[in-house]
Every structure is written in structure tokens, then in C-alpha cells.
Amino acid sequence: MGSAQAALGPIITRIDHVGIAVADLDEAVAFYARAFGLAVVHEEVNEEQGVREAMLAVGKSGSCIQLLAPLSPDSPIGKFLDRSGPGIQQIAYGVDDIGAAADRLRAAGVRLLYDAPKTGTAGSLVNFAHPKDCGGVLIELVQAGPGH
């Protein structure tokens, strides 16, 4: 990032969550409860993203582990599981203004997957930075919604 971009300050405010692709959500939730003592703080089906998901709070850190199970084999998570197997699918960073964050990333030469943000977990707004522009990591930007 150039010095002009750096002078504007960071666009991310926190690590919101780490997304983990799983084949069976109920089985994964049971494992994280048994092995790590984590509990589900939010669960929903996101038809637009093609997932059934559960957010598990990591202590009182404000960060979560997001378990993502595909609604169909041709959903993005279904394709990820077919290609890579279960595991870390993305890291999500919190932002205060997803539009401004997207503009900053585009100005820095980072491609975003969507022209405009989409609805994410608990009414949040989300967009994704292309992994080919981010060292092989799919980065999700999250602007918290009213239920986030």
C-alpha cells in the first residue's frame, strides 16, 4: 500500500470471524462444543450464499468461528469442499463502512467479488476481496448489521 493509502489509516477494525467449510454443520458444531467448549451464538440459512451457517463465539474476544455447510453441491461452499475438502475457507475483517473499504481496496488494485455488498450473517453487509490479489486468502469484509 502506498504512503497516501497508509496515511488514511486502517480500514479494518477487527477480526470478525474465520470461516471454516464443513460437510455436516451439526457434526461440526458438536465437535467444537466437545473439543473447545464453544457454543453457537447465531445460526441461520443464507439462501443467497447457499449455506447453512453457525457462528461460535471465541470467548469474550468479539471474534467468532463461522462454520459453513453447503445447501447444495454447486454452491460456493459445496464447490470449495469438492476442490479442497473441509477447512479454512476465508478470514473476515470488520469494517465500519463497507463502501469506503471497497473503494480503498479497489484504489489499491484489489478486485472485489461483488460490485455492491450483499447481505451476510445477521443482516450484515459483506463483500469479498479476490484471493489472487490477497496472497491466496479469500478475505471477507463485514459491516455489522443490527443483529450482528
**Three cell numbers, residue 96:** 465500519
Q: pLDDT grade, residue 1 (50/70/90)?
A: very low
Q: How many Cβ atoms are within 10 Å of 50's Cβ, its own excluded?
A: 19
Question: For residue 8, what pLDDT is reported?
Answer: 73
The structural domains of the chain, with segments of one domain joined by +, span 3-143
Classify domain 3-143 at the CATH class level.
alpha beta
Q: pLDDT grade, residue 146 (50/70/90)?
A: confident
**CB 6, CB 53: distance < 8 Å:** no
Q: pLDDT tens for residues 38-51?
A: 999 999 999 988 99
DSSP structural state of residue 141: E
Question: For residue 5, what pLDDT is reported?
Answer: 56
